Amino acid sequence: MTEKSTPSEVRIRQPLRWQIATLAHVRQETPRVKTLTLSLPEWVPHRPGQHYDVRLTAPDGYQAQRSYSIASEPERSGEIDLTIELLDDGEVSSYLHQELRQGDQVEVRGPIGGYFVWEADMGGPLFLVAGGSGVVPLMAMIRHRAARQSRVPTRLLFSSRSADEIIYAGELEKLQAAHNGLEVIHTLTRSQPPGWRGYARRIDRQMLAEAIAPLGEAPLTYVCGPTLLVESVANQLVGLGLPADRIRTERFGPTGSPA
Amino acid sequence: MSEPFISRGFTGKRRQPEAAERIPPGQYLTPGFPVLSAGPTPHTPLERWSFTLDGRVREPVRWSWEELLKLPSQSFTVDIHCVTKWSKLDTRWEGVSVDTLLEAVDLEQDARFVTAYCDGGYTTNLPLPDLLNGQAFVAYRYDGQPLAPEHGGPVRLVVPHLYFWKSAKWVRGLRFMDADKPGFWESLGYHNRGDPWKEQRYQGD
């Protein structure tokens, strides 16, 4: 029985300490998604794909914690972007969306996670598959790729419900227009604007086969989104002949959804 | 930090008081059963499936799927806690206690640690005592149904008193060791033991 290889460079880590970040900027990405830019007093470079934990404490000591993927590239020092979807009944996301104001402070610690990461020196080609806010850690990879002026052939297959729910739509368009090897393929599953020429259905085997074909035999593949999407995409990619050890997955809630 | 940092305007959604003492610090209750895995779900055909105890044992032992099903099984109702912050109470499992499995082997004196290894290459490490005395089992049924592949079926390890990444999905064997060897997540910054009541999430916690 072989053991899954871990990245050769195992970094020596300091214990992860909580620090008090300041909300520097808020950007509304879509009706239910905001990006919070946090200034960190003890910023350290992250690996694209990693996350931070956020901890909220009530006056009586009650605490709630959640993990949020970092959207920004590590080349931007001193601060991080967390892109956060407002969940129905979300204890922490509703606070971050509706209560936290510019200049407010919030406790965080990170960066965390060492497998669902991509750095330019890992090469490619790179196949990224996102469902909804699953695009966030992939965006950190895409921004890092751009910051490092990497030319690794990269395709993002991105499933959103409707055109106004496409997170980072404008920035993705711009990055693609720079013609440096990034292609973005959208599918809109619920409604499409007039004249829509992209895909208009859930990601399926046919779509994956078409999206991955230009990348050759075994692109390094990252899949992030709701559990059902990730499970189905990963299974179909294996069915298409992609080696399982080339596929890295990250699944997220809303954790109340049966899975 | 000596003084806790209070989040302005945060009160939180309160849990039911009767459940509060069953939820470790920083965790929240979920009614669902989230799935977390680092890669695709493996699908090993049952006729090629087996479960092995090896390493620091006098004689390794291997069970086929059918042989495993014939071992004395038990039902377990346990609370589970994932390092990603969700907890789920009263989950119902059926499987074979690790104590029962161990009746089939003679452990060497120096067997003090265990690596659970899995289809897909996942590993996790545990001190042997964390697997003994009714604390751990290999489960093949969840909530009265065969354990679904995305939840680790056909068989997953369940060690409910530790964070759930120790409850390795798609487990194929336990290797007994004389030295501790960090597993997959344990090599990637997660805590070596992972006691949720001590909030041992990451290295250094």
Q: Which residues of B touch A14 (CB under 8 A)?
A: 204
Question: For residue A14, what pLDDT is reported?
Answer: 67
Q: What is the mean pLDDT of chain B?
A: 94
Domain co-membership, A103 together with A223: no
Q: Per the domain annotation, does A74 fall within a domain? A: yes
Domain co-membership, A106 together with A58: yes
pLDDT at A240 over 90: yes
User: In the structure, how many helices (H) and strands (E) does chain B have?
Assistant: 3, 11
Distance between CA atoms of residues B49 and B51, nearest Å: 7
- Provide the percentage of residues in chain A whose pLDDT is more than 90: 85
Domain co-membership, A223 together with A105: no
Q: Per the domain annotation, does A66 fall within a domain? A: yes
The answer to whether B39 contacts A247, with C-beta atoms less than 8 Å apart, is yes
User: In the structure, how many helices (H) and strands (E) does chain A have?
Assistant: 5, 11
For the stretch A117-136, pLDDT in tens is 999 999 999 999 999 999 99
Rounded to two decimals, the ipTM of the complex is 0.88
Closest residue of A to B115, CA-based?
Answer: A3
Contacts of residue B24, defined as CB under 8 A and 6 or more positions apart, other chains included, come to B81, B87, B196, B197, B199
Looking at per-residue pLDDT, the higher value among A5 and B70 belongs to B70
For the stretch B9-38, pLDDT in tens is 998 876 666 678 899 999 988 877 787 889
Q: Residue A94 corresponds to which tokens in the numbers above?
A: 């509703």
Q: Residue A62 corresponds to which tokens in the numbers above?
A: 């009650």
The Cα angle at residue B64 between residues A234 and B126, in degrees rounded to 5: 70
Quick one: which of A245, A49, A50, A1 has its CA closest to B123?
A1
- Is A194 at the interface with chain B, CB within 8 A? no
Question: For residue B15, what pLDDT is reported?
Answer: 62
Q: Which residues of B touch A257 (CB under 8 A)?
A: 32
Q: Pick from A112, A140, A156: which residue ends a domain?
A: A112
Q: Pick from A94, A112, A130: which residue ends a domain?
A: A112
Domain co-membership, A57 together with A124: no
Distance between CA atoms of residues B71 and A211, nearest Å: 47
Closest residue of B to A244, CA-based?
Answer: B40
Question: For residue B4, what pLDDT is reported?
Answer: 84
pTM across the whole model = 0.91
Predicted confidence band of residue A253 (pLDDT cuts 50, 70, 90):
low
The answer to whether B205 contacts A15, with C-beta atoms less than 8 Å apart, is yes
Quick one: which of A22, A19, A24, A99 has its CA closest to A53?
A19
Q: Per the domain annotation, does A126 fall within a domain? A: yes
pLDDT, average across residues B174-192? 96
Quick one: which of B176, B157, B203, B204 has its CA closest to B61?
B176
Q: Per the domain annotation, does A13 fall within a domain? A: no
Question: For residue B95, what pLDDT is reported?
Answer: 98
Distance between CA atoms of residues B105 and B45, nearest Å: 26
The answer to whether A57 contacts B10, with C-beta atoms less than 8 Å apart, is yes
Distance between CA atoms of residues B24 and B81, nearest Å: 8
Range of the domain at A231: 120-252
Domain extents in chain B? 24-32+52-198
pLDDT, average across residues A150-174? 98
CA A234 to chain B, closest CA, distance in angstroms equals 5
The answer to whether B204 contacts A112, with C-beta atoms less than 8 Å apart, is no
Domain co-membership, A124 together with A160: yes
The Cα angle at residue A115 between residues A242 and A227, in degrees rounded to 5: 65
Domain co-membership, A132 together with A244: yes
pLDDT at B125 over 60: yes
Q: How far from the centroid of its chain's Cα atoms is residue A167's Cα? A: 10
For the stretch A10-44, pLDDT in tens is 454 567 899 999 999 999 999 999 999 999 999 99
Residues in B 49-88 with any Cβ partner in A closer than 8 A: 84-86
Which CATH number covers residue A140? 3.40.50.80
Q: Per the domain annotation, does A257 fall within a domain? A: no
CATH of region B24-32+52-198, choose from 3.40.50.11540, 3.40.605.10, 3.90.420.10, 3.40.1500.10: 3.90.420.10
Q: Which residues pair with A65 in a beta bridge?
A: A55
Domain co-membership, A95 together with A161: no
Domain co-membership, A248 together with A139: yes
Which CATH number covers residue A86? 2.40.30.10
Q: Per the domain annotation, does A258 fall within a domain? A: no
Q: How far apart are the first and last CA of chain B?
A: 14
Q: Per the domain annotation, does A158 fall within a domain? A: yes
Question: For residue A1, what pLDDT is reported?
Answer: 36
Distance between CA atoms of residues A117 and A49, nearest Å: 4
Predicted confidence band of residue A205 (pLDDT cuts 50, 70, 90):
very high
Question: For residue A256, what pLDDT is reported?
Answer: 34
Residue with tokens 């996102």: A130
CA A19 to chain B, closest CA, distance in angstroms equals 9
Q: Residue A103 corresponds to which tokens in the numbers above?
A: 């200049």
Question: For residue A3, what pLDDT is reported?
Answer: 40
Q: Residue A258 corresponds to which tokens in the numbers above?
A: 């049966």
Q: Describe the strand order of the beta sheet including B113-118 as a list of residue ranges.
A: B61-64, B50-55, B171-177, B113-118, B123-127
Cβ atoms of residues A233 and B23 within 8 Å: no
Residues in A 200-229 with any Cβ partner in B closer than 8 A: 227
- A253-257, B156-160, B199-203: the lowest-pLDDT one: A253-257
Q: Which residues pair with A197 in a beta bridge?
A: none
Domain co-membership, A160 together with A201: yes
Q: Per the domain annotation, does A214 fall within a domain? A: yes
Partner residue opposite B7 with nearest CB, options A4, A66, A106 = A106
Domain co-membership, A25 together with A63: yes
CA A247 to chain B, closest CA, distance in angstroms equals 6
Domain co-membership, A154 together with A176: yes
Question: For residue B37, what pLDDT is reported?
Answer: 84
Domain co-membership, A227 together with A126: yes
Distance between CA atoms of residues A79 and A24, nearest Å: 9
Q: Which residues pair with A69 in a beta bridge?
A: A51
Q: Pick from A70, A89, A112: which residue ends a domain?
A: A112
Distance between CA atoms of residues B76 and A3, nearest Å: 30
Domain count, chain A: 2
Predicted confidence band of residue B8 (pLDDT cuts 50, 70, 90):
very high
pLDDT at A6 over 60: no
